[in-house]
Structure 1
Amino acid sequence: MKIRLAQTLKGYESKNITKDILAGIIIMAVSIPISMGYAQIAGLPAVYGLYGSVFPILVFAFFSTSPQFIFGVDAAPAALVGSALISLHVESGSKEAMAVVPVLTFFVAVWLLAFYIMKAGKLVNYISAPVMGGFITGICTTIILMQLPKLMGGTAGTGELPELAVHIARTAKQINVPSLIMGIAALAILLLSKKRIPKFPMAVVLMAAGALMTRFFPVESWGVKTLDTVETGLPKWRIPDLSLVPMNDVITISLSVAVVIMAETLLAENNFAQKNGYRIDDNQEILAFSMSNLVAALTGCCPINGSVSRTAMGEQYQGKTQLTGIVAGLSMILLLLCGTGFIGYLPIPVLTAIVISALLGATEFELAARLWKVSRTECLIFVGAFVGVLLLGTINGVLIGIILSFSEMIIRTAKPATCFLGIQPGHRHFRDLKEGAQIHQIEGVIIYRFSSNLFFANVSVLQKDIEDSIREDTRAVILDASGIGSIDITAADRLEILYRSLKEKGIRFYITEHIAELNEQMRKLGLGYLIEEGCARRTIHIALKDMGIKRPYPLEGGVDNEERSASRKRVDNRVQEFVWAFGSDTEAEIEKQIMRQIEQLKQNGDVENLFHGRWAHMEELDQDEWLEHLEEHLKEIVNISGKDERTLAARFEEHRKEVHERIAKDHPELAERFHERRHLLDEHLRERRPEVYDLVISLREAEEKRDRNDQA
């Protein structure tokens, strides 16, 4: 396994250095309250949170392949370790806790190293975008709810939504008004500046302003809390005493923490990577997690995790590479050596507002809104992961999302895309019979396309569709297996049953268009005799030839299928392409484009452009449809152009007549069908615009009368 170091710093572009340094300093400042708070939740003195923001973050910056993700002391591992101390009967904040926590961190690093060796990073490939979005939004919302009481002068909450709601309610009964005003004002300024001046480091300005207020105003006498003062100095390096915790306890506790770190951080990293258009090496990221936690263990810290809030802050201030993390780590060293006195002046409500602002920017509720419009099922998966994280915690939320995602995948594959194929007169390509009335089934032959891997959950769909389509004159069933890449034993058994049933009825069965690997699978599953009997053919054309059916293929209903010469125009009318392109929105799309043309008419007054500015240079059948829609707007076109209504209507009819003549000349086999279709469009026009319909009919009658007089 190849290990790459400092990958995001290779070929560094000097134009990014200012942004990276600024983002690193801001991340360092934001890390102060977050890290100190979570260190206390993990059972350590607050200063160890700052220690966890020094060497672990530097090591992660050199090992990581993510240009923007930040490591540090974070909520989920801290909460797990804190609860583990309770189960081990270790008092939080005691000397015993300071000795036990690094042992747990060390074994977390060992587990993560094992995950790296096992290449467990590939598991993230099985987690869908809705799961990632719900997960990251759930984490952001949870941390926001944890931080809200600090805006009101209280302490950070812990646990899941029920516990957080109770804590917020209790804090709300004892609100410190100055704290709330300061926090809300800071949050409002941050959100406003993010929209108006997103590149301006407003967070730094607010921290400086908060420190100055504490220095020159009696902020503490107002009840506004500030951060605890911290002694100067760097963490001491020591090897944890592995004998302090029973091995069975340390293994189970550290394993759960390692799984949470891997799942939560990989998901969040991939979420940011997808959003910002770059790729990461999932497996090397796990190695980065392991090395960072090893360093954390050797400096007495609790387990370290990827931080969504700090990464979101770096993204807001346009950090481009891991130089951001290196600057954050180095500036924390300077702070611990020279500037710890400054920490005691920072108001907690202002720092909390900075954290909440960053987290609001990292939520993906807009993805949920988009999914609701596109796919309710995927929206449900998003909500499931989101609610799961809120109510049951990180790892359970991920598990719920994964289960929902796999369930949706199974349901989707159990209902594959299928269709029956036919051929258009004069053509050689097989197309869906539902595409249009000009596609006809080959006489006595059923051609069925199944677009999914064939397995136990969907083989019944194939069997039922084919059996229901059998008629007395059916001579053969051809399965277009171009979408089938694999087949399981249940599907193989059902195919054999179908084959035997068709054979008893004297109907031939073919499997065509599939990859060669499928033949190998069929042989292994006991269907090799189908290949030996000539039922597996490379193409549909070869299967038809094997039956003695040659081009031009006989079509049902006696439809002429004379093959066209290369010089003769093919019946490739784009009305079906338009329907294929826009589906159920075809009517609305035609209307939308006509409205655009009418807007252009208002500007240039060119009525002729209405007949020529159409989608993709429409051919005959499309043009007829287009004219019918244009006629509905006849009154509006008259008002805009100032043209005579009867003159414009006559122009429509003249254009339609030209279209009809071209169809009759190039495609005589479609002329009658065009006439029938014209009748349907006329009925449509009469329903929508009866006055226009009456005018058009009167023009046609006048035209017919003139034609009769000319003939006489």
Structure 2
Amino acid sequence: MKFLFPTLKDYKLQNLRNDIFSGVIIAFVSIPIAMGYAQISGLPAIYGLYGSILPVLVFAMISSSKQFVFGVDAAPAALVGSFLATTGIPFESDGAAALVFLMTVLTALWLFIFAVLKVGNLVEYISSPVMGGFITGIAFTVILMQIPKLMGSKAVTGELFELLVYIERAFEKVNVYALVLGLVTLAVLLVSKKFLPKFPMVIVVMILSAVIQSVFHLDKLGIKMLPGVSLTIPNIDLSLLHVNHVKDVVLTSLAVAAVIMAQTLLAENNNAMRNEFKIDNNRELYAFSCANLVSALCGGCPLNGSVSRTSLCEQYGGRSQMMSVSAAATMMLVVLFGSKFIAYLPVPVLTAIVIYALIGVLKIDLAKKLFKVNKKEFYIFMCAFFGVLIFGTIYGVVIGIILSFTNVVIRESNPVRTFLGVVPGMKGFYSLDSNSNARPIKNTVIYRFGGNLFFANIKLFQEDIENSIKEDTKCVIVDGRGIGSIDVTAAERIEIIYKSLKNRGIKLYLTEHMSELNEQMRDFGIGYIIEEGSARSTIVSALASQGMITEYLLEEHKVKPVIPKIKDHIYSELEWAFGEEGAHEHFERYTKEIIEHLSHSDDKFCVESLYKNISSWNNFGNFDEVELIENLELHIDEIAERIKKDRALIAVDLENRKKEIIDFIQQNNPKAYEKILAHKRAVDKILKEKYPDIYTKLIEEKNKRVH
């Protein structure tokens, strides 16, 4: 690791008070949680407290999450306890200690493997509705687990239907005193959060409940207290395990590690986004692995992130993992000196504290927002929620991810798309559907497609274009600024559309897309479409190549064209279409084509007329025309020989045209002007060395213009 305690880098001392204070609260709240889930996993209660000291400290040393709390928690404990029950090994026995030790070590190993393979990056592909539903599902599940304890029964684990059965049984033998005590505690905490959010009411009710127990002996009313604990040394004897147990532990530990990774990373990312900081997912996996390994050495069970205790950390102002250091130190003092105090804590009060923390985790506001704004994402939220609630953590995540990706495919298969026209007297192109003043250009279809082209939407793309064709249509221009990529199915279909339109005398243009799409087209074997001039950087360029330089013809108007704005990041349209090396090759090829088509009849030398001799690409943009002229200047001897004209006069014609373009660029784009001017100087230097007499003539002409 590059840096231990990364959340303490550039630590601000003003946060120390809140960090220590929130750590103390976390430690006290962790007492019943850690003890209860340690027993569920098959260990004595004291091992839950052990798992809340050194492992928590190790997590704090490595984690990049500022506020997240790690420790003994429900999901891993329930999985371990369920597995232990199937083996027939008695709970809280030496055999159970050996099996849980092996389970925890292997869980740490799996988490380490996940970190090495960078599996944590997969969390980036989980949407907010999935994450919100998942977190809400976990919180609600744990709340249901706590309800029997609130009524005086023991702690339970399981999924929704099991928990409902447990709750029904607990209700049948409810201890009214325990329920009233728990509900009053919960009400006090909720009211204090609303009116006194920073007041440490959690600690107050814990101390007050211990005082009431010592004075009024609540246990005589049937209200359960936390069990007393005594320090013991873990006794790990792996020889007590059967070989078949070891084989099964390997697979079960993989499931436990997957649960820890999914649940904790999702919750950590949710916490990080809400509090505007970033975490390193793979570093977190290393932290989980190391903390679990230390837990095994302490005799504890697998550890997990705690949503409820993290909520309390946020509420009481914890700002770094100094909070975990404080919590570990506090728990150490409790273990060494507070065992008598633990026995005075009523279970219903502590259960109410846990439920109170979990209520703050429920993403009710997100669900309401999704229901109002996007029903599909609301249903994804609810499916993730019920998936966790009914099937458990892993299945809930899988269900949510599948639905999330299905929603992406459905959305991408029907992206936003429209047909464009122009508004008389205004620059740009406007949707014909949403702008009543927009008019289509005569003989032209301009179609904007708002997503990547792939197997699921290419048919829609094709149908839209085919349905837009009229008898007088001469060209179809696709505004592809929303098209970032194509797949092989889309490439094949584009070729079919292109050839079909070509056979009908209709020119297809792909415009406005990123240059990377041109590379993809070449890779898929349809690069000839670009070679034939059907990929243009702008809609204007495509219209110009159709001869619509001076005006766009509408049914009832003649509209001045939109002057193409030269973009800073595009040096040349040919470079955009073919890449830097490919552009130079095409300039050389076009230069040769121009020269080969020159003849003695071209005695009236006109630069603009030269481009008609290029077979596949016409109507060059400003940058391209300048570079083409510069290429022609370097072949001036061949041109003079072809048309039997003085080469100096030809050079002057070329230079005059180049100056017109450069002046236009200077007026419209100063940054681009600097770039093209630097290129001109380089060509002038070559011209001066190769044709000093012509260069002198050009300087003379330039001086004449100046004077």
Task: Report the counterpart of residue 584 of structure 2 in structure 1.
Answer: none
Matched residue, 1:438: 437
1:116 aligns with 2:95: no
Q: Which residue of 2 aligns with 1:383?
A: 382
Deviations 1:342-391 (A, max 9, x none): 10000001101111101001111110000000000000010001001110
CA distance in structure 2 between the aligned counterparts of 1:497 and 1:239, rounded to whole angstroms: 71
Q: SS of 1:558's equivalent?
A: coil
Alignment of 1:355-394 (within 5 A): 355-394=354-393
Deviation at residue 79 of structure 1 after TM alignment: 0.9
Q: Deviations over 1:421-479 (max 9, x none)?
A: 11121233122122322211111000111111100001111101111111011000111
Higher deviation after alignment, 85-94 or 505-514: 85-94
- 1:286 is matched with 285
Residues 390-429 of structure 1 correspond to what in structure 2 (within 5 A)? 390-429=389-428
Amino acid at match of 1:543: A
> CA–CA distance in 2 between the matches of 1:499 and 1:552?
26
Secondary structure of the residue aligned to 1:388 is helix
CA–CA separation in structure 2 for the residues paired with 1:275 and 1:544: 48
Contact preservation (8 Å) 1:475, 1:508:
yes
RMSD after superposition: 1.7
| Offset, 1:88 | 3.0
Alignment of 1:537-686 (within 5 A): 537-555=536-554, 557-562=555-560
Deviation at 1:121, TM superposition (A): 1.1
Unpaired runs of 5+ residues, structure 2, are 564-707
1:558 alignment partner AA: E
Question: Residues 245 and 431 (structure 1 numbering): CA distance in 2 closer, same or farther, change over 3 Å?
Answer: farther
Cα distance in 2 between the residues matched to 1:521 and 1:239: 61
Amino acid at match of 2:330: S
SS in 1 for 2:559: coil
Aligned twin of 2:667? none
Q: 2:95 touches 2:237 (CA, 8 Å); kept in 1?
A: no
Q: Show CA shifts across 1:195-246 (max 9, x none).
A: 000100001010001101111112111101000001146x559797797654
1:249 aligned partner: 248
Q: Quick one: structure 1 residues 563 and 261, their matched pair in 2 at CA, closer, same or farther if it must change by over 3 Å? A: closer
Return the TM-score normalized by structure 1.
0.77
Cα offset, 1:248, TM superposition: 3.0
| Equivalent-residue separation in structure 1 for 2:550 and 2:21 (angstroms) | 72
Q: What does residue 71 of structure 2 align with?
A: 72
- Is 1:503 matched with 2:502? yes
Percent identity of the aligned residues? 53
Relative distance call for 1:131 and 1:360 in structure 2 (3 A) is same
Distance of 2:176 and 2:330 partners within structure 1:
34
Whether the 8 Å CA contact 1:100–1:244 is kept in 2: the answer is no
What is the DSSP-based 3-state SS (H/G/I as helix, E as strand, rest coil) of the residue aligned with 1:396? helix
The DSSP-based 3-state class of the residue aligned with 2:199 is coil
SS in 2 for 1:465: helix
Q: CA deviation at 1:90?
A: 2.1
**Partners of 2:52 and 2:331 within 8 A in 1:** yes
Counterpart residue number, 1:169: 168
Partners of 1:387 and 1:397 within 8 A in 2? yes
Q: Which moved more, 1:14-23 or 1:448-457?
A: 14-23
Distance 1:84 1:94, change over 3 A: same
Cα deviation code 1:233-291 (max 9, x no counterpart): 6x559797797654532221111111110000000001111111111111100110000
1:540 Cα deviation (Å)?
1.4
Cα distance in 2 for residues equivalent to 1:197 and 1:100? 46
Cα distance in structure 1, aligned partners of 2:71 and 2:237? 20
Q: How does 1:470-549 map to 2 (within 5 A)?
A: 470-549=469-548
Partner Cα distance (1:92, 1:54) in 2: 23
Amino acid at match of 2:424: P
**Which position in structure 2 is the counterpart of 1:301?**
300
* Deviation for aligned residue 1:552: 2.4
Partner of 1:152: 151
**Counterpart residue number, 1:707:** none
Q: CA separation in 2, counterparts of 1:69 and 1:75?
A: 16
- Cα distance between partner residues in 1 of 2:235 and 2:247: 26
Match of 2:333 in 1: 334
Counterpart residue type for residue 294 of structure 2:
V
Aligned 8 A contact 1:74 1:305 in 2: yes
Alpha-carbon contact 2:97-2:236 (below 8 Å) kept: no
| One-letter code aligned to 2:304 | N
Say if 1:395 and 1:520 are closer, same or farther in 2 by CA, change over 3 A: same
1:185 corresponds to which letter in structure 2? V
Closer, same or farther: CA 238–42 of 1 in aligned 2, 3 Å: closer
Residue 203 (structure 1) aligned with residue 211 (structure 2): no
Residues 646-681 of structure 1: CA distance to partner in whole angstroms, max 9, x if unpaired?
Answer: xxxxxxxxxxxxxxxxxxxxxxxxxxxxxxxxxxxx
SS at match of 1:11: coil
Question: Aligned equivalents of 1:388 and 1:146: distance in 2?
Answer: 17
Distance 1:143 1:49 in 2: 18
User: Structure 1 CA distance, aligned partners of 2:418 and 2:239?
Assistant: 67
Corresponding residue for residue 353 of structure 2: 354
Provide the TM-score with structure 2 as the length reference: 0.78
| Unpaired stretches in structure 1, ≥5 consecutive residues | 566-712
Aligned-residue offset at 1:501: 1.6
Query: Offset of 1:562 from its aligned partner?
Result: 4.2
CA contact (8 A) 2:549 2:561 kept: no
Contact 2:95–2:241, Cα closer than 8 Å, also in 1? no
Runs of 4+ in 1 over 4 A off after TM superposition: 235-247, 562-565
Aligned partners of 2:239, 2:428: CA distance in 1, in Å? 74
Distance across 2 between alignment mates of 1:337 and 1:306: 25
Partner of 1:134: 133
> Where does residue 225 of structure 1 map in the other structure?
224
Give the Cα–Cα distance (whole angstroms) in 1 for the partners of residues 474 and 551 of structure 2. Answer: 18
CA–CA distance in structure 2, aligned partners of residues 506 and 296 of structure 1:
75
Shift of 1:131: 0.6
* SS at structure 2 position matched to 1:420: strand
- Equivalent-residue separation in structure 2 for 1:507 and 1:515 (angstroms): 24
Aligned counterparts of 1:418 and 1:241: Cα–Cα separation in 2: 68
SS of equivalent residue, structure 2 residue 173: coil
Per-residue deviation at 1:551?
3.2
Q: CA deviation at 1:341?
A: 0.9
Question: Residue in 2 aligned with 1:103?
Answer: 102
SS in 1 for 2:360: helix
Are 1:238 and 1:299, in contact at CA under 8 Å, matched by a contact in 2? Answer: no
SS at match of 2:558: coil
**1:47-81 C-alpha deviation (Å, 9 max, x unpaired):** 11111111111100110111100111111111111
Q: What displacement does 1:111 show?
A: 0.7
1:528-584 Cα offsets, whole Å, 9 max, x none, are: 1211221112221121121111132112x221314699xxxxxxxxxxxxxxxxxxx
Q: Distance in 2 between matches of 1:103 and 1:163?
A: 28
Partner secondary structure for residue 511 of structure 1: strand
Which amino acid counterpart does residue 463 of structure 2 have in structure 1?
K
2:322 is matched by which residue type in structure 1? L
Does the 8 Å contact 1:100/1:245 carry over to 2?
Answer: no
Aligned to 2:580: none
Amino acid at match of 2:558: D
CA 1:249–1:519 in 2, change beyond 3 Å: closer, same or farther? Answer: same
Counterpart residue number, 1:276: 275
Task: Identify if the C-alpha distance between structure 1 residues 421 and 240 changes in structure 2 by more than 3 Å, giving closer, same or farther.
Answer: farther
**Whole-Å Cα distance in 2 between the matches of residues 486 and 98 of structure 1?**
55
Shift of 1:91: 2.1
